[in-house]
Amino acid sequence: MDSSLPDRVVTDPDVARTYGVDHSPGAVAPEAFTVVRARDRADVVEVLQYAAAHRTPVVTQGARTATTGAAVALEGGIVLNTEAINQVEVDPVERIAVVGPGVVNGDLKSQLTAYGLAYPPDPASSGSCTIGGNIATNAGGLCCVKYGVTADYVRGLEVVLAGGEVMRTGRRTAKGVTGYDLTGLFVGSEGTLGVVTEAVLRLIPAPDPPLTVLAVFDTLEATLAGVTALREQRHTPSLIELLDGPSVAAIQDYGDYGFPAGAEGVLLVQSDRVGHAHEDVMAYADALTSAGATDVAVADDRAEADLLMEGRRALNPALEARGSRLIEDVCVPVGRLGDLVRAVHEIATRQGLEATCSGHAGDGNLHPCFFFDQDDAAQVAAAQAAFGEVVEAAWSLGGTLTGEHGVGTLKAPWLERELGAAEVARQRALKALFDPLGIMNPGRVFG
Ligand SMILES: Cc1cc2nc3c(=O)[nH]c(=O)nc-3n(C[C@H](O)[C@H](O)[C@H](O)COP(=O)(O)OP(=O)(O)OC[C@H]3O[C@@H](n4cnc5c(N)ncnc54)[C@H](O)[C@@H]3O)c2cc1C
C-alpha cells in the first residue's frame, strides 16, 4: 500500500498472518493481504480512499472472535483493524458513552463501574471482543433475556463509507425520530456497509451483583418445564442458561465442576434486581423444584454466585478441548426449545456424530455443536450435513438461522431460503447504495 501510513501497516509477515483468520472452524488465511491497524478516523478515511481508488476489498476487523468467517482476510485485500481506536467518554447525566470501535466489551463494563453505570450486552467472548465487532454482528450474550441485544443500546454511529466519506447516523439524545433509522441498518451489517469509527451507547444504572440458582434435572422434559416455569415469574431473570446432558458430561470430563453423573439437563438462573435478588432467586428455586429439579443450589452471596457459574463458564474451553467442531447459532421460539434439543440429538445419532446443545434458553437461542475428526472425510461431510439439518430444524420450529453470531460466510448459502429472493435483492440494493464498488467485506452475508 503506497499510503502515508507506514507505521500503521503491519510489516512482519508472522504478525500479519495472525490477522488472517477469525474463530470460524477451518478458516484459512489467504496467501497475500495487507494489515493496517488504524489509530483514528483519519487512518480509516485514508485506507478507504486508497481501497476505492484501487478497487481493493476491505475486511474490517475487531478482535477476530467471529465464528462465521465474517472477519477472515481476503486474497489481495486489506485487513483494516480498528482495535486501537478505543477512546471512551462517559456522560453520566445523559447516561451515554461515546466510544471508539476498538474498546473491548469487558473493559468498557469495568470503566463504567466508577460511574455506577452499566452497558448490558455481554457476549461470552466479552473479555476480548470489541464494541465495533459487537455492533457489526448485533451481538447478544447471556443477559439478553432481560436486557436485550446490542441494537437496543446503540443510539448513533460515525461510519466511514467506501471511498472515505464520513457519515453520522442517529443521535445522542434519549429520543429522536428524524428520518429513517440508519443506525439500525448498520447494526448487524457485518462490515459490509462501512467502518464504524465511533458509537454513542446508551447506559443503564448498574444493577445489583447477580445471585445464581443452579438446578439439575434427570430428564430433558423436566429441564424444559423449568424454563417454562421461569417464564411465569413476575420478574424476568437476568440470565437463563441451559446445558443439555452431553454438555454437562463434556464439562465434567474437562474438570470436576460438581455436576452429578447422569444429569440430563442443568439450568443456571440469575437475578440482579436492585434490592430483590435474594428474594428472586428463592422464588426461581421454588419454581424449578416444582418443575422437577432433582438438585437445586442457591447462592447467598456474590462469591457463591460466581462459583455456581463456573461450570457454565467452562463450557467453551471444554468443547474446544474435544477437538474439531461445528458450532450452530439458531434461535427458536422459547416454547420449542425442547423440540430443538431433541432434533439436534436425533440428527447427531443419524449422522454418527457426537453433539452438545446448550445456550441462552431464555431467548430460545442455542448453540448446537457437532464434533468430528478433521482427518476423516466422511465425518467432515457428516458434520456439514448436520449443520444444514439444524438450520432446517430451526425453520420448521418457527425459528431463524442465526440468533447472534451473524451470517458471515458459513451461513450465506442459507440466506435466500430464509429471506426470499425479493428480500435479498432489496438488501443487495441497499448495500450497493453505500458500497457501489462492492469492496466492503465482499462475499460475506450474501455469499
Ligand atoms: C468463545 C466465544 C464466545 C462467543 N460468545 C458469543 C455470545 O455469547 N454472543 C454473541 O453474540 N457472540 C458470541 N461470540 C461471537 C463473537 O465474539 C461476536 O460476534 C463478537 O461481536 C465479534 O467481535 P470482534 O471484535 O471479535 O469482531 P470480529 O470478529 O473482528 O468481526 C466481526 C464482524 O464485525 C465486523 N467489524 C469489526 N469491527 C468493525 C468496525 N469497526 N466497523 C464495521 N465492522 C466491523 C467484521 O467485519 C466482521 O464482520 C463468541 C465467540 C467466541 C469465540
Residue 44 to residue 42: CA distance in whole angstroms:
5
pLDDT at 236 over 60: yes
DSSP string, 271-318: E--TTTHHHHHHHHHHHHHHHT-SEEEE-SSHHHHHHHHHHHHTHHHH
pLDDT at 364 over 70: yes
pLDDT digits (tens, 9 = 90+) for 149-184: 999 999 999 999 999 999 999 999 999 999 999 999
Cβ of 393 less than 6 Å from ligand 1: no
Cβ of 139 less than 6 Å from ligand 1: yes
Distance from residue 286's CA to the centre of ligand 1 (Å): 37
pLDDT at 5: 79
Beta strands (DSSP E) in 154-305 are 154-160, 166-170, 195-202, 204-205, 211-217, 239-244, 265-271, 295-298
pLDDT at 300: 85
pLDDT at 3 over 90: no
Ligand 1 mutation pick, 61, 193, 326, max ligand atoms within 8 A of CB: 61
**pLDDT more than 70, % of the chain:** 99
pLDDT at 2: 55
Cβ of 47 less than 6 Å from ligand 1: no
pLDDT at 26: 86
Cβ of 195 less than 6 Å from ligand 1: yes
The mean per-residue pLDDT over the stretch 251-270 comes to 95
The mean per-residue pLDDT over the stretch 183-208 comes to 98
pLDDT at 1: 65
Candidates 194, 338, 192; CA nearest to 267 is 338
Ordered domains of the chain (ranges, CATH): 13-81 (3.30.43.10), 88-205 (3.30.465.10), 211-317 (3.30.70.2190), 323-396 (3.30.70.2740)
Q: How far is CA 35 from the centre of its chain?
A: 24
Cβ of 196 less than 6 Å from ligand 1: yes
The atom number, within ligand 1, closest to the CA of 197 reads 41
pLDDT, the chain, mean: 96
CA distances from 93 to 119, 170, 172, 204 (A): 15, 19, 12, 11
Cβ of 22 less than 6 Å from ligand 1: yes
DSSP code for 210: P
Distance from residue 70's CA to the centre of ligand 1 (Å): 9
Cβ of 351 less than 6 Å from ligand 1: no
Cβ of 66 less than 6 Å from ligand 1: yes
The mean per-residue pLDDT over the stretch 87-94 comes to 98
Distance from residue 41's CA to the centre of ligand 1 (Å): 20
Per-residue pLDDT band for 7 (boundaries 50, 70, 90) equals confident
**Residue 14 CB partners (closer than 8 Å, separation 6+):** none
pLDDT at 336 over 90: yes
Cβ of 404 less than 6 Å from ligand 1: yes
Cβ of 105 less than 6 Å from ligand 1: no
Ligand 1 mutation pick, 40, 60, 195, 363, max ligand atoms within 8 A of CB: 60
Q: Hey, what's the cell of 154? A: 446503540
Cβ of 141 less than 6 Å from ligand 1: yes
Distance from residue 445's CA to the centre of ligand 1 (Å): 14
Q: Exposed (0-12), middle (13-18) or buried (19+): which is 443, by Cβ within 10 Å?
A: middle
**pLDDT more than 90, % of the chain:** 97
Residue type, 165: E
Count of positions (residues) in the chain = 447
The atom number, within ligand 1, closest to the CA of 403 reads 11
First-to-last alpha carbon distance for the chain, in angstroms, is 27
The C-alpha R_g of the chain, in whole angstroms, comes to 22
